[in-house]
């Protein structure tokens, strides 16, 4: 069965989106080895039935908390066909940080721009078409509590499954050169082969402690690589 993961910051409406997609076809348990709640359900659209997993609400994939580790491990190890990134339209700038990290993880992303009504009450005007063009991602505006945009979201997920496109975020030339240097070393030394090498390189540059532990590398090694 195809897999779809819902990822987003806390309080963006993921649970409402999950319920709207899966209806009564859902079950609640715990993630293996921890007491963190795991929600799974089934959604059908046209000729495809897919499993929907509601990941814990997180702000980043640094894995400094158990919720972040669960979300990151699921996306990397389970490799869902589509990751629906639920974004709070009324707090879009903070929410898009997680979007960029999902792209670095080479996820096949569909953005669900939720709480459009709240954004409007705050006086925000979001040009969805231009934002979609800039990010090169499908974006579906929704008001989940009113079931507005849910059918459009299912359709976007369906076509994202068919395309399986991956968008790569590009930084300036200087940063890209450094990322490439580290990435090349990671590939040659077969470090974390199950992880996207570009994602690992960027996380090492960020000083991600969990990635340093997993790779058994040190900051001194990274500095030598890029000097």
Residue 119 lies in a domain: yes
Domain that holds residue 123: 2-163
* 107 lies in the same domain as 207: no
CA pair distance 35, 12, nearest whole angstrom: 22
* 140 lies in the same domain as 214: no
Per-residue confidence (pLDDT) for residue 13, from 0 to 100? 94
* 50 lies in the same domain as 125: yes
Burial class of residue 27 (count of CB atoms within 10 Å of its CB; 0-12, 13-18, 19+)? exposed
Per-residue confidence (pLDDT) for residue 25, from 0 to 100? 75
* 155 lies in the same domain as 202: no
Domain's final residue, options 138, 163, 188: 163
Phi then psi dihedrals of residue 62, to 5 deg = -75, -15
Using alpha carbons, list the distances in angstroms from residue 58 to 65, 67, 224: 9, 7, 33
* 23 lies in the same domain as 121: yes
* 153 lies in the same domain as 180: no
* 155 lies in the same domain as 190: no
Residue 177 lies in a domain: yes
Number of domains in the chain: 2
* Prediction pTM value: 0.92
Domain's final residue, options 112, 137, 163: 163
State the CATH number of the domain containing residue 22. Answer: 3.40.50.300
Query: How confident is the chain (227 residues) per 10-residue block, as mean pLDDT?
Result: 95 94 86 90 91 95 88 93 96 92 92 96 94 93 95 95 76 93 96 92 91 93 92
147-175 pLDDT tens trace: 999 999 999 999 999 886 667 778 899 99
Per-residue confidence (pLDDT) for residue 63, from 0 to 100? 74
* 134 lies in the same domain as 41: yes
Give exposure, 187-211, as e/b (b: 16+ Cβ within 10 Å): eeeebbeebbbbbbbbbbeeebeeb
CB atoms within 10 A of CB 115: 25
Per-residue confidence (pLDDT) for residue 92, from 0 to 100? 92
Please tell me whether residue 22 adopts helix, strand or coil conformation.
Answer: helix
* 153 lies in the same domain as 177: no
Q: How many CA atoms lie within 13 A of 84 on its CB side?
A: 35
**Residues, the chain:** 227
* 111 lies in the same domain as 215: no
Residue 72 lies in a domain: yes
């Amino acid at each position: 069965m195809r897999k779809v993961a819902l990822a987003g910051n806390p309080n963006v409406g993921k649970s409402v989106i999950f319920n709207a997609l899966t209806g009564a076809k859902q079950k609640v348990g715990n993630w293996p080895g921890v007491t963190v709640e795991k929600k799974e359900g089934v959604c059908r659209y046209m000729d495809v039935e897919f499993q929907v997993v509601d990941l814990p609400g997180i702000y980043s994939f640094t894995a400094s908390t158990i919720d972040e580790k669960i979300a990151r491990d699921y996306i990397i190890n389970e490799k869902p066909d589509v990751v629906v990134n639920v974004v709070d339209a009324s707090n879009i700038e903070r929410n898009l940080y997680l979007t960029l990290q999902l792209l670095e993880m080479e996820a096949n992303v569909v953005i669900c721009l939720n709480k459009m009504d709240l954004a409007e009450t705050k006086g925000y005007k979001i040009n969805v078409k231009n934002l979609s063009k800039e990010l090169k991602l499908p974006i579906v505006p929704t008001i989940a509590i009113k079931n507005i945009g849910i059918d459009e979201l299912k359709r976007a997920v369906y076509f994202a499954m068919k395309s399986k496109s991956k968008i790569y975020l590009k930084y300036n030339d200087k940063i890209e050169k450094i990322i490439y240097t580290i990435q090349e070393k990671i590939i040659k030394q077969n470090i974390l082969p199950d992880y996207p090498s570009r994602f690992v390189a960027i996380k090492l540059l960020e000083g991600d402690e969990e990635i340093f532990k997993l790779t058994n590398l040190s900051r001194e090694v990274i500095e030598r690589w890029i000097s």
